[in-house]
Structure formats: C-alpha cells, structure tokens
Amino acid sequence: MKFDTPAIANPIDKLKVIGQPTDRIDGKFKTTGTAPYAYERHDVAPGQAYGFIVGSAIAKGRVDTIDLKDARAAPGVVDILTTLDMPPLPLGPMNFANLFGGPDIQHYHQAIAIVVAESFEQARAAAALVKVDYVRSDGRFDLAAEASNAKPADERSGIKRVGDFESAFAAAPVKIDAHYTTPDETHAMMEPHASIASWAGDKLTLWTSNQMIAWSKGAIAKMLNLAPENVRLDSPYIGGGFGGKLFIRSDAVLAALAAKAVARPVKVALSRPLMANNTTHRPATRQRIRIGCSPEGKITAIAHESLSGNLPGGSPEPATQQTELLYAGENRLTALNLATLDLPEGHAMRAPGEAPGLMALEIAIDEMAEKLGMDPVQFRILNDTQVDPANPQRRFSQRQLVECLGTGAEKFGWDRRNAKPAAVRDGRWLVGMGVAAGFRNNLLTRSAARVRLDAQGIVTVETDMTDIGTGSYTIIAQTAAEMMGITLDQVVVKLGDSDFPASAGSGGQWGANNATAGVYAACVKLREAVAQQLGFNATDAQFSNGQVRSGNRTAQLADAARNGELVAEDFIEYGNLDKQYQQSTFAGHFVEVAVDGFTGETRIRRMLAVCAAGRILNPKAARSQVIGAMTMGVGAALMEELAVDKRFGFFVNHDLASYEVPVHADIPHQEVIFLDEVDPISSPMKAKGVGELGLCGVGAAVANAIYNATGVRVRDYPITLDKHLDRLPQPV
C-alpha cells in the first residue's frame, strides 16, 4: 500500500479497540515468567553448550599472543576460539567497530576469545585462565583534550546556516553565550545482549535479543558470508534495548562462530561490564549555544554547536537537530563536530540527538527568559513557529507545542511558582519548579505484515516487528481487531521472527505507527479477500462484531475461510508527504524538585508531561512508555555518567552497582496528559510515537527546577551535589 495522500476516514477511526487503554496481552506471560527471553530458550535446540567472551584488557594496540594451555585443561571446556584464529570479520552495515577477528584492538573489552564449556560456570572459570600478551599503543580517550582536533561531521550534517547568524547575533540587544556538557551514558537495560546459535548444514538460526530483525539478519549474513535465506533470527521477547540492540553485537557473532566450531548449539550472554564497554553507548557532548533576542523576547539569532567523539568511521551525536525546528528565528547556525576517540563505539541511545541536545538547549532558553525578565513558559510560546524555520513554505503537519505548555502550566500550578530563585523553603529543603519543551521527529519507514483468517474466525498476524517492553503485541492486536471487526481474544500475534515479513522494527519511536500501518495495509487486503470469498462488494463491506455486512446481506467473518485459510500480505510505504510537511511530536515537561540545603541532594517531588503525538493507539501502554522515559530523564539529569579512565581508555563504572539509575523511591509522582490529536499526514493510523518524546526535555526541566530552587546554575550533567554544594544559599 502506498501512502502518498493524507488519510481519510477509515475503519481505524471507529476506535472500538484502537485508542482504548488496553492491558498488554503479553503481560500475563511477563509476570508469570512464561515469556522466554533469548538466553532462556532451552527447548529450541538440544545439547546447548555455554560460551563466555573474553574482552581485551587494553583499549588500543594489538594482541601479540594468547596462551590457552591452562584454559583448555580446565574442567568442562569444549573448545576455545580466539581472535587470532581468523582475519577480521567484515563490518555489518551499521557497525564501525570490529566485532571479532585479527590482532588489532580498537577499544577496551573488544572480544578476543570465546570459551565454550558444558556449563556457564565452567566457561567463566576457564576464561579467567586465558593468558594474553598485548602490545599497547597510545590512545585518545579525553574528549576535551581532542576538541582542537575535531572536524565538522560531514557536509550533510555538519554546518547548517539560515540567514546571517553572526551579524544578527552581534546586533541583538539581549544575548547569551553559554557552554554545556553531557557525559557518556550506557543503555543499562535489564536483559543483557544474549544469543543461542544453532547450525543445520549451512543454515544458521539465532535466538537472540535484538530490536531490528531485518537489519540484523542482513548484517549476520554479510559478516559470516552467508546467503540471507540461510539466516534466521528469532526474538519474540526482548528485555529492553533503548537502542543498544539495534545492531548485531558480539554475542550473536561469537555464538554463531562457536556453534560452528563445536558442531552443537552455543549460548552466549554478555556480562554487565561487556555491555558497557564491548557494545555501544551514548557519546558525551560539549555544546555551545548562543541566542540573540529583541527586548520584547523575539529570537533573532540562534546557534547551537556540538562536539562529540567516536571511533574512526563513526558518526557524531546529533545534538543540534531539534534546534533546527523547535523555535522561530530568521538567523540560524547549527554545527556538529566530531573528534576521533578510542573509546567503545558511540551509537544510538533512546532519542539520539534530542535527548542530550535538549538538555542544553532548554537550559539556554530558560537562561534567556530570565535575562529578558520573562516567564519561561511565555518565552517559549512567544517563539513558537508553525513552519520549518529554514523553509517557511513547509508547514508542520500538526504542532501543538503551545497547547502542551499551556495545558501543562495550568495542570501543574505553574502560576504558584516563585520566579525568584532560592525563595521557597520547606524546612531544610529548597523547592523549585522547572519547565522544558520536548521535541522528537516523526520517522516513517516501510513496514510489512501477513494476516491469516481461519475457519474459527481467528486472525493471526505475522511480522518480524519486535516488542522490547513497549506493547507491540497489544497495539498490533488492537489494529487487526479494529480492521477485521473482531475482539482482541480472536487475534493471535506472532513477532520477532525473520521468516515473517520485514517490519519497521523497534527504534526511534517509529515502531508503533509504522508497524501498525503495515498491519493495516495487510488487513485491507484481507478484507478484500473476505469480501470476494463471500460474494460481497468490497468497497461497502462493513466488518463488525465478527460479521461482515454489505447492503442487506450479512455473513459471519469465519464463513469466508470455511473452504480454507485466507492469507493476505502487504506493506506500508510512503510517498513524499514527509517532504511536503514537517512531521514532529511535542511535549511540555514540568518538574518540581527539592534540594537539601545542607547536603545538596536533589529529590524529585512531582513530574508532569503533556504530549502531542498524533493518535494514541493505547493510552495505557503509551503512558507507561512516557513515565519510563521521564524516569530515564531524571537519571540523565541527576546520576547517569560513564566515568572514563583517561589513562587506559575504558568506562570504569561498568555495572549496575556503580552506574546509577533511578529506582522507585526516586520517582514519587508522575502524571501524563495526551492532547487530542490525529495526524492524517503521518499514516493511515494517524499516529506518531511517544517512546522517546517522554525523555526529550526532561533533563533540562530538572536542571531548571534545581536552579529555581537554589539560584545555582549547573550546566554540566549530571547535576550531582558536588557541583553546587559550595554555592547553595545558607540555610535559615
């Protein structure tokens, strides 16, 4: 199905099933332990052995020798495969760090060996006996030290100009010029990267934990020199990813290589330290923001420059992308600069770009509002735009940022905020409120599905779409039920298998809208097949309550399959509507904090997110996504930071004991409001996405609340107590 004109009224608009706050249909499996994750697929292949990966103890250099004598003699060892046994594997399309093969070391904990044994404990113990001699080289591990060597990212995403920023900024009566930093962060999902590999001749099956099945099937085929039809991936349940499982990692590659070597299935799970140093992370940024305004508060010039680092061939953290679209202003400059670092691969993490970019931009907006003597909500509203600032002929398909901010201010009690910093006390606590805008683009990508109708009236949906804890099973079932006029218990959803049609996959908050649109397209074909089988006119057939009506005739849906199962397959692909209209999602984030006047500790008191993100397919699941993202934003604001050992080039706090994330006690009260919005420009579902919007802007809202509470402006995340303790106002 080609979607190249705005959606008109369609069966989804009935909202009998879609749009309802439906419990997740996989919830009962998750809560009873009957949803098997990748490492728990004990039944899929008999005789599984256990693999344990040995990571490099240096960050830069090469492996000279590997002594396996003691390791091979350890109890239970089946075999050991080392990086010196083969040349470097080809890179996958989305990888730029070598996953295995050859002596060269690009980063700390790069996989250099896998020990295969009869038990996990035996494999781990033997791995500790592997002796490696290295030749260490000097590496680049300090982003600040490499700033002078950084270069514009590339012509497409490097420097972008609209108007004459320098002249407009120089002439602006009111201006700010400030620097901000965000640290390296890790995904810290609960389920580790894990895979079970099994070969049948030249055919490889991987039961793995992966967000993007079609991408990763192609990557594995390329790396292992296999025909794509000889590769199968299966990921029905995924315990979180946040972008860390978008691409193939060493668990899948080494499980496959080891299984081939020992001629039996092998299962591999990355240890927590390897998840931080062997896979990917969100790169640190150093950002500069300059804003010039008229005395009345109109932005006349805005510039946002960001520096990040990565391995050779890597890409920058796109921290400036929201600044191109969020606020008005005729004269604009954005620039991405990239330094070469020898740290582990920097790549996508939830809301790549916007998350760290808004952490800086939305503090700068608050700083400018204060300099102007304006309320920060009103300053944002004043500088709203309904068109792309770089192309005023290109309007937003839907843009309710003003409504998000206005509704949020009213619901949160913003009028009770004391604009004077450090003016509100509650005993020993300094109390403040903060606001920030949230922004995330709506991304469109082809997505396919197959639907089946059997003689019992059961509709089965098959698509390689994944559920990473987001509720994909449920919204896909809701879509099929709405389209075919049946109840949820009459829908079976099968996900995550590369033998199914290739979907959008889970990432970038594009999964829900695109995957359900693909199911919609397949259901349109199935409806046509049903009508034809029943002898009905497909154009006026109505599907409701398990029946099909056309004119004065009615039949049971199941009757269409009485002579055999009906199968339909289709995909959604998009025309150029996204070129004609800017498609984005918006939020207003409001936070109240309390800062201990004696210790400097920050406590979140309450949070509110008001979101405008197209049709909300399942308000219950969407709310869960947003409050989870808000919690992640608190972590980024207050505690999350990968500490870099700048001597030896690794992330020191590579476990959940020392890499701190929020717990329930840190998040006492959260509220989410979804504005009534449908976007016919986006898809037949008229939806967008919320999974990353809920994160975008939260960190700055926390930072702005801390400033309002204390009068101390901290521009370097995370805002730990040591960064403002010596500047706090004296307790009274």
Residue 692: active-site member: yes
**What is the residue type of 620?**
K
Structure tokens at 584: 């984005």
Whether the CB-CB separation of 524 and 570 falls below 8 Å is answered with yes
Q: Please name which of 327, 366, 437 lies closest in space to residue 176, comparing C-alpha atoms.
A: 366
Task: Round to whole Å and give the CA distance between 291 and 526.
Answer: 54
Find all residues with CB under 8 Å of 354, minimum gap 6, and list them: 321, 322, 439, 440, 692, 696
DSSP state letter for 687: B
Cβ atoms of 32 and 229 within 8 Å: the answer is: no
Q: Are 672 and 609 in contact (CB under 8 A)?
A: yes
CA distances from 184 to 58, 140, 281 (A): 19, 15, 7
Distance, in Å, from the CA atom of 487 to the CA atom of 489, rounded to the nearest integer, reads: 5
Phi-psi region at 637: left, alpha or beta (left = phi > 0; alpha = psi -120 to 50):
alpha
- Among 415, 387, 281, 270, CA closest to 329: 387
Q: Six-digit token pair at 431? A: 């109390």
From residue 456, alpha-carbon distances to 524, 560, 565 in Å are 20, 10, 10
Q: Of the residues 305, 354, 370, 692, which is catalytic?
A: 692
Sign of CA dihedral 485, 486, 488, 494: negative
Whether the ω angle into residue 75 lies within 30 degrees of 0, i.e. cis, is no
- Axis crossing angle, helix 619-638 with helix 354-372, rounded to the nearest 10: 70
The Cα–Cα gap between 168 and 177 comes to: 14
d(CA 224, CA 71): 26
- In eight-state DSSP terms, residue 501 is P
Q: Are 25 and 488 in contact (CB under 8 A)?
A: yes
Among 648, 133, 654, which Cα is nearest to 343's?
648
Tokens at 86, concatenated: 């083969």
Asked whether 421 and 711 are in contact (CB, 8 A), the reply is yes
Q: How far apart (Å, rounded) are the C-alpha atoms in residues 557 and 548?
A: 6
Q: How far is CA 660 from CA 188, 192, 284, 632, 634, in A?
A: 9, 17, 17, 11, 11
- Helix residue spans in 386-510 (DSSP H): 401-412, 472-484
Active site residues: 692
